[in-house]
Structure 1
């Protein structure tokens, strides 16, 4: 088993027999001076006076906390939900890095990805491994600090898998058997090119404790370099695939995007249940907080940079792939229609739709 794991590739066959690119511009020349693991201190909630504010996550980014059925239960309930959302974010970061990104970056660094990549690109992948291990560790450490400071531990069990794992398993099962493994590359490209955008607003939110904003900012600064790396990896991957493989793989990008960006409904339901809501109330809160059309538009907006990169790489040239992106609402729609999205929300939430 262990020898098989050592030899396992994301793409089948001899990498040298595939088309490959030589171009690569590294963004890691000053990694020793810039990487968070090299220069950033441990962020401490224990010494953060702002932690007494009690608002641990932006409520606009967790709309279940704004729902009338939740608000009616009082400010303490809303604050507990937002605290649990912070725990979910920290746990998601730890699991994403440990399960989805570090194994991919490690395999690339050792030259076993199935791609023929420039030596500097493989060396930089090892720096990404180090960065991501640091992100996973400081997220876990900070969650422990939050629990100690607030006396309110995470509600979700440590063995509860994040939603993206089951979504990835479903994607893998739908791939041709000969290409199973490439979903790991697809998801790493998706997550690493989109996560920096997701993190951009939180460090500027003065309602949150200073240490929370610093933890997210530290993560975001490293991810800016990773974004550029995985954008380049996309080009190398696509040039290495045969035409047949491109036609097979391309339509799966939308599923990988949704696996990363779609809300974690099950985790939210657990938190609402812990807050005392009944099953019908939970169903109502989730349905009205995340209407399908709102989620579709939000995913399309968040994915727009990656869709542009995919178009530039030629991924959307195939008609079947183009149709898959259209069917998921990732292309072909106009700018976000605030009025239309607001109409999908309950009256008391419409004022929150401001983006």
Structure 2
């Protein structure tokens, strides 16, 4: 068998986009139900299991009303973050593919699918904003959208990157984001959520599952065609990006807890527990499984010096 026969068969398509993308086919209007308060007797705004600080004795003792207020605040912040992420990070990653800014030439099929993905992400930003506005109105959540710490860190990474490497950095940010968010949405959608929120997140998940596959394949193609210098740059940058995605948003969380009436002593305890290096590494290792699997599939860890980097960071086993 010749070498060509062993090459991966890259397709770069969003399967049946015309009949499956939520922007083309969804019938949901993403309005919260009139009986939302009744639904909250058995449902959630956001899965409490995803927010370990809700298990603090002071918060548990305060009852379900505070739990709903805190999960609503978290969901609004997550949706505001999603709107910014889709516009400033993911669609920027798509632009570098479409407009030939990467250090390797890419197939036309990759560019065409990227344009479809760009359309999807604009719609995700729209419905995330629409749902966030409704929930913020119920709980009188002001001062938004607060700039998420994750977006600030990602934009800072791009700003300090040499101009000639920024397109590749932008693509890598999109790759990590899309492989992470598909897994996150899948886990979130397993909870019993308020209708409207549930409809929106499930439509988002349906699209992101395909986006994750697309970015996985696009990274695989890119990795095989990068020269060693660009591969080394990509490896160190990916490590920083993954770590960035799992740092706690300390300023926002501190303000959210205080605005909800949580005592300063409790706020300090929660923040201290969430922001340790060990806690960050644990979140990164468990939360980036899909990204790490995509890297492995591309042969990323076949390079010993790259594997050592990720072992030392605690993301993979030696």
Normalised by the length of structure 2, the TM-score is 0.87
Match 1:85 to one of 56, 70, 74: 74
Match 1:237 to one of 222, 225, 248: 222
Match 2:105 to one of 111, 116, 133: 116
User: Shift of residue 168 of structure 1?
Assistant: 2.0
User: How far apart in 2 are the matches of 1:182 and 1:128?
Assistant: 18
What is the aligned partner in structure 1 of residue 175 from structure 2?
A: 189
Match 1:52 to one of 14, 38, 50: 38
Q: Cα 1:29–1:197, aligned 2, differ >3 Å: closer, same or farther?
A: closer
User: How far apart in 2 are the matches of 1:102 and 1:170?
Assistant: 17
Q: Is the 8 A contact 1:59 1:65 kept in 2?
A: yes
SS in 2 for 1:41: coil
CA offsets, 1:238-259, max 9 Å, x none?
1232112212321221211122
Write the mapping of 1:114-263 to structure 2, written as runs, cut at 5 A.
Answer: 114-148=103-137, 150=138, 152-158=139-145, 160-172=146-158, 175=161, 178-206=164-192, 208-263=193-248
User: How far apart in 1 are the matches of 2:182 and 2:313?
Assistant: 22
Write the mapping of 1:264-275 to structure 2, written as runs, cut at 5 A.
Answer: 264-275=249-260
User: How far apart in 1 are the matches of 2:221 and 2:172?
Assistant: 12
SS in 1 for 2:68: helix
Which deviates the most, 133-142 or 103-112? 103-112
What is the aligned partner in structure 2 of residue 287 from structure 1?
A: 272
Q: Is the 8 A contact 2:273 2:279 kept in 1?
A: no
What is the aligned partner in structure 1 of residue 300 from structure 2?
A: 315
What is the aligned partner in structure 1 of residue 316 from structure 2?
A: 331
User: How far apart in 2 are the matches of 1:266 and 1:332?
Assistant: 32
Which deviates the most, 90-99 or 304-313? 304-313
User: How far apart in 1 are the matches of 2:188 and 2:154?
Assistant: 27
What is the aligned partner in structure 2 of residue 304 from structure 1?
A: 289
- RMSD between aligned residues: 2.4
User: How far apart in 2 are the matches of 1:188 and 1:325?
Assistant: 20
Segments of 5+ residues of structure 1 without an aligned counterpart are 1-20, 334-355
SS in 2 for 1:262: coil
Normalised by the length of structure 1, the TM-score is 0.79
Which deviates the most, 44-53 or 222-231? 44-53
What is the aligned partner in structure 2 of residue 339 from structure 1?
A: none
Which deviates the most, 214-223 or 307-316? 307-316
CA offsets, 1:175-211, max 9 Å, x none?
55642342211110001112111011222322x2122
User: How far apart in 2 are the matches of 1:203 and 1:37?
Assistant: 19
What is the aligned partner in structure 2 of residue 13 from structure 1?
A: none
SS in 2 for 1:87: helix
SS in 2 for 1:84: helix
Q: Cα 1:86–1:41, aligned 2, differ >3 Å: closer, same or farther?
A: same
Which deviates the most, 41-50 or 127-136? 41-50
Q: Cα 1:182–1:44, aligned 2, differ >3 Å: closer, same or farther?
A: closer
Residue 106 (str. 1) matches residue 95 (str. 2): yes
User: Shift of residue 170 of structure 1?
Assistant: 4.6
User: How far apart in 2 are the matches of 1:156 and 1:259?
Assistant: 24
- How many correspondences in the alignment? 309
CA offsets, 1:137-184, max 9 Å, x none?
011011122234x2x1334432x3222223224534665564234221
User: Shift of residue 99 of structure 1?
Assistant: 0.7
Q: Is the 8 A contact 1:69 1:285 kept in 2?
A: no
User: How far apart in 2 are the matches of 1:154 and 1:113?
Assistant: 41
Q: Is the 8 A contact 1:44 1:145 kept in 2?
A: no
